Copies of this chain bind each other. A is one copy, B any other.
Amino acid sequence: MLIGKIVGSVVSTQKDEKLVDRKLLVVQIHDHKNAPKDQYVVAVDSVGAGAGDMVLYASGSSARQTTLTDGRPCDAVVMAIVDSWDVGGDNVYEKWNEG
């Protein structure tokens, strides 16, 4: 999995029928020190994530292992909202300290 931030969403009316009612999130990828990278992925939401949330997303066939994405043409899923993480003993991100 990689860490990312929800920065937006995509609207599509003409799409595969198996994706109807699925929320398509724009996730900007962050590195392990929480620096944003100039990379993004569009992922289906499976955990109720919203704008500004730091999340984990899974790619490939693993993205189809949630109830909302099973058997669907979806190669990325947001499967966790991140509360905090640490690297080298230091707290890098703490949800409750934000905004």
Contact = CB atoms under 8 A, between A and B. Distances in A.
A75 B8 contact: no
Q: What copy number does this chain have within its complex?
A: 5
Contacts of A2: 41-42
Interface in A42-67: 42-43, 46-48, 51, 56, 58-66
Interface in A4-50: 7-16, 18-19, 24, 26, 28, 31-32, 38, 40-43, 46-48
A56 B73 CA distance: 11
Nearest to A56: B42
The 8 closest A-B pairs by CB, nearest first: A15-B80, A62-B75, A32-B40, A8-B87, A65-B73, A12-B80, A10-B85, A1-B42
